[in-house]
Amino acid sequence: MFSFQTIIDNLPVLIASARYTLLISGLGCLLGLIFGAVVCMGAVSRSVAARRVAGVYVSFFRGVPLLIQLLLAFYLLPLVGVNVPALVAAILTVGLCAAAYISEILRGALNAIPKGQAEAAIAVGLPPRDIWTRILLPQALKISMPSLVNELILLVKASSLVTVVGIVEITRMSQSIASATYRPLEIYLAAAFIYLAINLVIAGIGRTLEQRFAL
């Protein structure tokens, strides 16, 4: 028989474990924005070498499942003498993976910006760094806001994969509680609603930002 009491009793613990889900997805998205902007700049660069490196990067991180990337980072880093906590390795891996997708989102947004703006900036003598930081990237972020919010939502869901490296986020905690209580339906349903609540908040913030940028 379905037990609401089981959900009520274990909900505080599941909510507490959400801090790791938010930490991994939030910092992963932030790193993804930073690395993604760099990769995007390489992808649209006049340098053939930069475009090839960016292409290989995007192909690898989009072509290899995130689960495999997490396992590679967890087991490979110690072999090369880099010993970091599992949480740090997970955030870096999620961020590097997100960067590949974000770079393509930004590249598509850049294509929507009239080329005359960059040409005019070059004509008045603005250095390349200022052209990127003051003209191109701000507009690209504005144009791509819906896609970036969607990417953050995907990262929240993808963060459940970090359970394979021992991080106790929502999914790992729900698995442990389900095993202890023998109530998997109630526990996983509670976890599903926590994920849904987080993503609804993110979507609401995204809509607010879109409306503000549209003004």
Range of weakest confidence among 65-79, 107-121, 178-192: 107-121
Most confident by average pLDDT, 67-81, 111-125, 165-179: 165-179
Instruction: Summarize pLDDT for 88-121 with one digit per residue, the tens.
Output: 999 999 999 999 999 999 999 988 888 888 788 8
pLDDT for residue 214 = 66
Rounded distance between C-alpha atoms, residue 74 and residue 82, angstroms: 10
Q: What does the pLDDT read at residue 13?
A: 94
pLDDT at 157 over 80: yes
Q: What is the mean pLDDT of the chain?
A: 90
Q: Count the neighbouring beta carbons within 10 Å of the beta carbon of residue 144.
A: 21
Q: Reply yes or no on whether the pLDDT at 215 is more than 80.
A: no
Domain locations along the chain: 22-169
The four Cα atoms 69, 161, 24, 141 give a dihedral, to 10 degrees, of 70
- End-to-end distance of the chain based on CA atoms, in angstroms? 52
The arithmetic mean of pLDDT across residues 200-211, rounded, is 90
CB-based contact 8:177 (threshold 8 Å): no
- CA proximity to 25, closest of 73, 93, 83: 93
Res 93: pLDDT: 94
SS3 content of the chain, % helix, strand, coil (to 5): 85, 0, 15
- Which burial class, exposed, middle or buried, applies to 170 when counting CB atoms under 10 A from its CB (0-12, 13-18, 19+)? buried
Fold of the 22-169 domain: MetI-like fold (1.10.3720)
